[in-house]
Amino acid sequence: MNSNPYKFIVKGVTFDFYDLSDAIQFEQSAVEHAVKKLVALGKRSGNKSYSQDLHEAIMSLSRAQEQYNESLRRTTRPAQHPFEKAHVLIPLS
């Protein structure tokens, strides 16, 4: 098992989560944080279990959705929105 849970080897190419993050260019830090949790569920050092990491990823995605909806309410014209061109408000339960 790899000692660094964020380091991957795919088809002979070694990269880590930050290389992946740079390639994807996340629009929201909360989404980036959630993905980082998801790629190493329960595998990082410390006492966080798979379940705790999954819960924290879900909470980060929930916050990302809140931030997205907040940004939609502040945007005067949809074409100005930084995340995408088409907009749909998704109610939070």
Kindly state whether residue 91 falls inside one of the protein's structural domains.
Answer: no
Per-residue pLDDT tens over the stretch 43-77: 877 778 999 999 999 999 999 999 999 988 887 65
Total count of domains within the chain: 1
Q: What are phi and psi of 75, to 5 degrees?
A: -80, 130
Residue 2 lies in a domain: no
Does residue 93 belong to any structural domain of this protein?
A: no
SS3 87: coil
**pLDDT (tens digit per residue) in 79-92:** 555 666 555 555 66
Q: Where are the beta strands (DSSP E) in the chain?
A: 7-10, 13-16
Range of the structural domain that residue 59 is part of: 7-80
Determine, yes or no, domain membership for 85: no
87 found inside a domain: no
Let me know if residue 73 belongs to a domain. yes
